[in-house]
Amino acid sequence: MTPHEQLLAFLAERSARRGNFTLASGRQSSLYIDARLTTMSPDGLATIGPLALAAIHDAGWSPDAIGGLTLGADPVSYAIAYASALAGHPIRAFTVRKEAKTHGTGKLIEGPFKPTDRVVVIEDVITTGGSALKAIDAVRAAGATVLGVLAVVDREEGGREAIAASGVIAIALAGAAAIVARMPESSAS
């Protein structure tokens, strides 16, 4: 099984559920993909890191740092950063808070982020693109250049197109249709 096939299997078996759900975007859906059940598991991290790193390179992006809106982007960013260190070309990871801290340094972006960075914004699941767009805005406001967006899952509901409308290319490791095609029959919530 290739790493991509393994990722699809993990997502179908662990992360995807059928039922009636309200998504973070506020939309109603009969499909819920909780990518964290894959991205926070040891074998999921070990699969996603190198696979995402390869996708970043295949896209022609050479980032200094990667990160996105907490919480979904965090484990994916860390897996990629670790894989990049093992590959001998370290890429730093950062986190974008949903709101700036009201104490300490008051940062919106945490970690070894620099205003001069070339960045790939990371997302676990793209539906409308809203979370990625918030992260893009925060990174740009801090002075960095956004090279693109990488998501683990694209729900294929217009989010990539919304991100593209902001002038940023978005790619995904897996699409919802490919995940659904591999879901076991007993995946109701």
DSSP structural state of residue 156: S
Give the span between the Cα atoms of 142 and 138, in whole angstroms: 6
Examine the residue annotation and report whether 103 is marked as an active-site residue of this protein. Answer: yes
| Selected catalytic residue, list 4, 57, 98, 101 | 101
Distance (Å, rounded) from C-alpha 134 to C-alpha 11?
A: 25
Catalytic site residue from 103, 107, 114, 134: 103
- Residue 10's closest CA among 174, 121, 186? 174
Q: Could you give the CA distance from residue 4 to residue 91 in angstroms, rounded to a whole number? A: 22
Instruction: Check: CB of residue 51 under 8 Å from CB of residue 4.
Output: yes
Q: In this structure, are residues 9 and 182 in contact, taking their beta carbons and an 8 Å threshold?
A: yes
Angstrom distance (rounded) from CA 154 to CA 173:
8
Q: State yes or no: is 101 an active-site residue.
A: yes
Which amino acids are annotated catalytic?
A: 101, 103
